[in-house]
A and B are shown apart, each in its own frame.
Chain A
């Protein structure tokens, strides 16, 4: 058992030393949403995931946020936060529209 533990530890250290550190992985995670990463980088990130569940989660969660954002653009009135136009603003806009419309005719 002790031997297995030692091998596992050595493997983890080896991977750690041959892949970008977590803080860098997080930067790559964000950049991957802007442009495709090189094959080499993607491979290193995959390798890093073998020893780091936290970075793997982070990348998954960032992708989720990315998708959630696009949902937001198609949301209906009720789910957008905040109040609508104030009564004054509403009246003013209607008035200005009427004025502009009468000029158009």
Chain B
């Protein structure tokens, strides 16, 4: 059937040859649907030299881990473990997708392992943070109780889409999310940055769905307010 080197799924085995599509016959032979690459075209690169990984990807992976773990020592460990796992799996995974995004995928799992472990030691649930839910911005009593105090309601944000291209905006975004407590930030990053579904997050962190929703609600609320104060509410013309 398949060649002995192909111990992974077909997709994994072939993805190293991503520039050429292959079809597979039932007897397992690989048949290029296109002619083989013409001579003179360099061979597709596999994983680069492990030492160069650190050179090429070390800083990025470290920053990526640091945002999520908030502890330089733990982030360094996670990066090292990622490279070690890559070293072990490197041969079977050779050439799989872009090296960097593959490494990021491995690192993500290392980070999730860390979260899982941490959630067993102490509860991830944080019901304290922002528990007043900006109550100072709402009418305290009367007919319009729990309505926005008009002067303190959300402002109109000008050109939010364009902000995505601004480095200063992202710096502000990171500064704001850095102000969230560790567990709230972890939940926020999992949901909003990594795009993990809420049910999965509950399983990973061992928290109830309703508590997760409350934490996300407050994190979003706090981040919105922080961005409004430090970015959208500011006169960007001056910058």
A residues bordering B, Cβ < 8 Å? 13, 16, 21-24, 26-27, 30-31, 33-35, 52-55, 57-58, 61-62, 64-66, 68-73, 75-86, 89-90, 92-94, 96-98, 100-101, 104
Contact = CB atoms under 8 A, between A and B. Distances in A.
Given A22-B148, A104-B87, A89 B76 contact: yes
Nearest to A96: B80
Interface string B69-83: 000100010011001
Given A54-B153, A94-B54, A81 B146 contact: no
A96 B217 contact: no
B220 A65 contact: yes
A27 B217 contact: yes
B206 interface: no
A79 B167 contact: yes
5 contacts: A33-B216, A54-B153, A65-B220, A65-B227, A96-B84
Given A26-B217, A57-B155, A64-B157, A93 B192 contact: no
B51 A24 contact: no
Interface in B22-64: 50-51, 53-54, 58-60, 62-64
A53 B148 CA distance: 10
Interface string B108-124: 00000000000000000
B87 A101 contact: yes
A72 B193 contact: yes
A23 B146 contact: yes
Contact of B59 (A27, A53, A81, A85): A85
A52 B63 CA distance: 41
B54 A93 contact: yes
Given A22-B138, A70-B192, A93 B63 contact: no
A33 B188 CA distance: 12
Nearest to A20: B146
B160 interface: yes
Contacts of B148: 22, 52, 54-55
Given A54-B150, A85-B58, A98-B51, A80 B63 contact: yes
